[in-house]
Chain A
Amino acid sequence: MTVQELCDGVHETWTRDQGPGTRDQGPTQRSNSLGCSRVLPLFEEHLRCVANMKPEELFTSEVLLWRYVRALACLLLLQVIAPMAVCNLYHTIVAQGILNPVIIISNLVTSCIYPTKLLRLVVPAACFIMLARIHIKSYTVSAWVPLNRLEKWRRMLSPVVIFRSGLVMTSCALLANFYTSLAHPDFPFLLMPCMSGDIMCYKRKSVIIFMGAYVGYHYAYKYFMANGNLVTPLPAHPRKLQLIKASLSLRSMREACNSYGASKLSFLFAIGFYMALSILISLVNNGKWQDWVVIFDLPLMMMTLLATVLLAISLSLFSQLFHIFITEPFEIPVASAEDNNPDADGDSWRLCNALSSSGILQVLAFWDLKSLASSDPRNLSRRSQVFAISQPGGHPRNWLGIVNPSLNLIRKFCERLRRQNCPESLPSVPPLPVETTALTDVNKNEVEKPPPVPLKERVISFVMSLKRYPIFGYFLSDLPDAPNRSIFAEALPVIWAVQGK
């Protein structure tokens, strides 16, 4: 493959990856193609590196990375600018009592360019980058199905989940504090010290931080324990703006508030819990418990509610937008220019290699295969490539390249199902070779030595025996239909493989 071809291929892939935006991105494409031809020597080395990459690496570096960047940019735009505007309006209208629309608008505009406000953006930006990092590291393409409660608890108490949940809670607490500091002058930012004697300042900060962490905890639990980190392609892919608009609907926001602890009941529960905890700590430290009753003032409650609602909506948007950007479908070339080159590396950027990969690339490849198999006349040219035969030789390489990974996946899936449903029909394990030095009894007759049981099996049998006891049985007994559910959780690419053939 020549560098020019590779450049064209990467460029083609990139423009296809733009997906729904191709219609109105003509100038961008033109500038890209012009740039590619002009600065070709500069990128020669880079393209050589790209050519040597495996499909997963190429996908990660050339596609996924930019999706992360675009998702983060969109999130920052939506979730910092929009809440800032809401908080600024609240500050102007409620806190300052100004109803003049001219002043409201001028305040809104100046808040965006005010240096101190801009400096504060560092904190939410850092929070969002932290959240984005967690999302990038934690998303999965197949649902997690715990087989028993022990597995559930093990995941919940695993250091990785605890650490990441802690980061989510910290980010949420900082964001809640940031939102309230924007909305009301009585709520200083966390990094700004409280004035001496202002006991309410500390209490307000602590309440806001607690509620932020509370929402963060809800989100982290849903994310890590209830498959909130599952990303699968949507049934249909309109423009991203449409999907974002749909995720901004009132219904979605209400669902987000109910899911992430910003509903009325959950809010009261959290405040009540915080009060009880604070009073308990006061009593232990011989303080006055009446001091904590002062947090029941209206502005604080309103601000807390505003912050939790904004936070719940922000987190929901974060999850949805990340999902939208990551799972955007793209076309993978069925045959590449290097197919005619017999010396070419087998790991080229082709559909057959992507189908054999794993993770999100495999899912998107099977999605592409499914759409390729549809009767849409726009797929005719790509479909003809699938059935093309090689020249010379006349081998259906493209067809076999698609069929083999698909059949392998289906075969593995069927094997797992068969193993689960009919374990007795599996071929028996061949007996271990008998040792040459046979044992003898007292009469010098040879006695067959029982084969040694592997340690793993002994541990398993020991654990199984523990199930008889109620305490251990609670943790170790299988959850209803969990093995089948765990198998079917990975069935999506299999279904698309079947539909694609």
Chain B
Amino acid sequence: MINLQYLPPPPACGLITAYENDGRLRALGSREALATTRNWLGGQFIEVMVGQEPVRTAHSKQEAREAFSAHTETSWQRVMFAYYEEGWEASLEEMIKGKDEGSLYQVASTVASFILKVCGFIARAQALLPSPKNTVSSPITPLAVRGSGGSVVSVAWHPHTNTLAAVFCDDTIRIFAAGRSISPLLKHRLQKSIMHIAWMPYSASLLAVGCECGILLWTLDPVNVVTRPSGSCVSLLAYPSATPINSLTWHPKGNLLACVGGSSSQLIVWDVGREVPVVVHSGTGGSISLVLWSPNSSRLFVAYSSKIMRVFETRDWTYEQWSLESPVKSAAWSCLGHLLLFVTQDDPVLYYLGFIPGEDIGGTQVAAQVADLTQTLVTDEDGEEISVGGAVRQLAWDPRSERLAIVFRDTECVVLFHTHTHPTLHLSPGGFIRGEAGHIAVSVSFQENLCSGAVLSVVWSSGQVQHLPMRYSSREPLNSSLDTSLFSASVPVRVAHNSLLNSSIPRNTSMGYAGSSVMSPLIGGLFTSP
């Protein structure tokens, strides 16, 4: 099993990782790095610009009325205004605030106080009951909260065009396209607490935004010059028991959209064209935190906030379940849909599951440990010690499954592995991606429409978005087919639905290092059923 000690040392403090060439990451000063990236990407370079106006965080909103001077109305008038503006509950609260308004008002205030106490008691009792509307218990935090104070908190590349959607901390989204000076601003009153965004495959213009009220589908005409698309460009897909949206994923063909949300364990699949939802699964397991469609569309990975994860086959929607020692934090499918990498919240270990192509689900009995990501101290190029690894925030695998980026929650370096999935999974060290001093990576995303090489977009905690070009020769063309015979020989099919994640795999028995001394080819023999 590979660990972070095998990786080349991170760049020195003051330098940032600029590009990858010949399999090695190079670091430069920030200006040189930007110039190099511009030079490499040419007309395809997209600069995520933040306007001059300060971006207000969505979670530090203040009431507009606080900006105005004190009122001069009578208490009864204030109660009436509160009723008209915010309803009877606000009017009762307003009634309690008033003082020295006569005996009648005091009686009314006492009654209002009593009613509010009863209502509060009922609300507390309701909160104890399991309810889909109880959104407080949702374990997933919005993107704006996950960001560390920067204006940009996440980015998503379009699968087929040079278009990038950037989520800002004020719950707005801006669309940046190569060669276009206009960056449309997507803002809507329903677009609050954005959890996830995803571009629709095989469509130039459809962006799904999972937020508090459901899924907002933005239809953006690529040739339109409007900088602020109107509300008519939005349609809402809302399934009341599955809001707020925790995660969403498109079918690789783009006609279906799977989403999960709230504290329910319902897995909803939408026919976007007809706006028809189907609950394909609802059962035990707690709320679902992550859903991910495999690139060959035959499987759907579902991670629960409890210590289980399931993989559904998408014809009859039967599933296989794996028990874990900690809830899944992030996961990624390989380009052919036969490998799944995942990390858990507590264990700094990268796991993988293999799947037999053509079978219903065909998952291997146990998940194998691929890389040890334990937080450790490494020396950078200047000889200074720097902490890397630890709890993982996000995994990102490039569309050809040749580069794997791992973002950590507490340490600032992004780890890059070189991967090869055919015939078996190989991980080799790529290096550390480091930003400016003190900046932690918040999220990463690979550009998906490249013919060769890769571009990794890193969102730093300062709100900067850095593009990291990687020049390498691909070993396989995109979406190549997979020979099923390779798996049928070595990987046994899982038969039981309940199996524990085997953390005590005999790691040394089948680890044959081939080629480089730090290669870790994982072979099928690792999956022998206990």
Contact = CB atoms under 8 A, between A and B. Distances in A.
Interface of A: 19-20, 22-23, 232, 234-239, 242-243, 245-246, 249, 251, 371, 374-378, 380, 492, 495, 499
A23 B360 CA distance: 10
B316 A378 contact: no
B316 A20 contact: yes
26 contacts: A22-B316, A23-B316, A23-B360, A234-B278, A235-B256, A235-B276, A236-B278, A236-B280, A236-B314, A237-B316, A238-B316, A239-B317, A242-B282, A243-B279, A246-B278, A246-B279, A249-B279, A251-B240, A371-B315, A374-B297, A375-B252, A377-B484, A378-B358, A378-B360, A380-B358, A495-B273
A238 B298 contact: no
A356 B490 CA distance: 45
A377 B252 CA distance: 13
Contact of B282 (A19, A245, A374): A245
Nearest to A371: B315
Contacts of B252: 375
A235 B271 contact: yes
B61 interface: no
Interface in B274-309: 274, 276-282, 296-298
B491 to A, nearest CB: 15
Given A23-B318, A242-B317, A251-B240, A234 B276 contact: yes
B314 A242 contact: no
B24 interface: no
A195 to B, nearest CB: 46
Given A236-B269, A249-B241, A376 B281 contact: no
Interface in B346-370: 357-358, 360
Interface in B110-159: none
B241 A251 contact: yes
B422 interface: no
B97 interface: no
Nearest to A245: B282
B239 to A, nearest CB: 9
A236 B255 CA distance: 11
B270 interface: yes
B253 interface: yes
Contacts of B274: 232, 235, 492
A19 B296 contact: no
Contacts of A249: 241, 279, 282
Nearest to B358: A377
A235 B269 contact: yes
A242 B276 contact: no
A372 B470 CA distance: 37
Given A235-B270, A245-B282, A377 B241 contact: no
B222 to A, nearest CB: 21
A374 B317 CA distance: 16
Contacts of B482: 377
A242 B265 CA distance: 13
B255 A499 contact: yes
Contacts of B282: 242, 245-246, 249
A239 B296 contact: no
A136 B256 CA distance: 29
Contacts of B298: 376-378
Given A23-B316, A239-B317, A246-B282, 20 more contacts: A20-B317, A22-B316, A232-B276, A234-B271, A234-B278, A236-B269, A236-B317, A237-B278, A242-B279, A242-B282, A246-B266, A246-B279, A249-B241, A374-B297, A377-B358, A378-B298, A378-B358, A378-B360, A499-B253, A499-B255
B238 to A, nearest CB: 12
Contacts of A22: 316
Contacts of A374: 253, 297
Given A376-B298, A495-B273, A238 B317 contact: yes
A249 to B, nearest CB: 7
Given A236-B280, A242-B279, A249-B241, A378 B315 contact: yes
Contacts of A23: 316, 318, 360
B253 A375 contact: yes
A376 B316 contact: no
Nearest to A491: B273
A148 B442 CA distance: 57
